[in-house]
Amino acid sequence: MSSPATTTVGTPATGHRAGLVHSLRAEWIKLRSLRSTWYTLAVLFLVGLGITFLALSSAGEEYPALTAAEKRSWDPVGLSLRSFIVAQLIVGVLGILVVTSEFATGLMWTSLAATPRRHRLLAAKTVVAAALAGVAGQLLMFASFFLGQFLLAAQDVPYARLGDPGVLSAVAGGGLYLAAIALLAVGLGTIMRATAGALATLVGVVLLVPALAELFPSRLQGLFDFWPTLGGAAVLAGVPDPEYPHPWLNLFGMCLGVGAVLAVAFAVFRRRDV
């Protein structure tokens, strides 16, 4: 009697682990088999590094014209990581398409037939999207940093080294920030099930609302400390911003907001029909 009992108890746990691994593998195969994935990543690096090059190619002419106060606040790290402004949109498109492409083509029915547990399917998509965006985003941040510092040094302008205080945390923070944006995009794509609607919402979140932040009453300004392109993005600065003295706390607050969006996405995905 003891042998069957042991088999019965052990099978579900093993099956659950195997099911999650299989779901992750299946989502990775689907994502890497799409040409759009590699096109998006290619655009990410081309545009990101292009922005870094354009932003710092004339630093040798601009730096001598700065005032003494502006030279003291000179941030070679933040300048070289400006590519995140466009990179977050490209990473967001990647995260949105992980979900909405299957809704658009009807492939979601097939995915659910292969993985009836909806939370497992969405969890696999979320993990794969975050991992890909995190790795690609981190590589872009390091590449942008080294390219930017090379350009600054070549123009005899103050530059930073990776071992300088606060530099590595800023570069690493950029990769984490982009991974969080990808998670936000997956959540928006799941809730809206349409690429255009999710992308419009993402653009509003990361670009439009921060641009209009100054129009809000002063008593509401503190809310923007945790807004993605404001408080959360403060981790990418090499020189501390007095307006955001605790950038990692701001990023943590942003991640809590992203977690709330994902919680809604899981609830919606589990309850409504495809």
The predicted model gives 233-243 an average pLDDT of 84
Q: How confident is the model at residue 225 (pLDDT cuts 50, 70, 90)?
A: low
What's the pLDDT score for residue 92? 95
Q: How far apart are CA 76 and CA 62, in angstroms?
A: 13
The predicted model gives 164-170 an average pLDDT of 92
- Long-range contacts of the stretch 171-174 (C-beta < 8 A, 24+): 171/77, 171/81, 171/141, 171/142, 171/145, 172/138, 172/141, 173/235, 173/236, 173/247, 173/248, 173/251, 174/81, 174/84, 174/137, 174/138, 174/140, 174/141, 174/235, 174/236
* % of the chain beyond a pLDDT of 90: 51
What are the pLDDT digits (tens) for 8-58? 333 344 445 547 788 889 889 888 888 889 999 999 999 999 999 998 998
| Higher per-residue pLDDT: 12 or 181 | 181
218 pLDDT higher than 80: no
What's the pLDDT score for residue 106? 81
Per domain, the residue ranges of the chain are 17-271
Mean pLDDT rounded to a whole number for the chain: 86
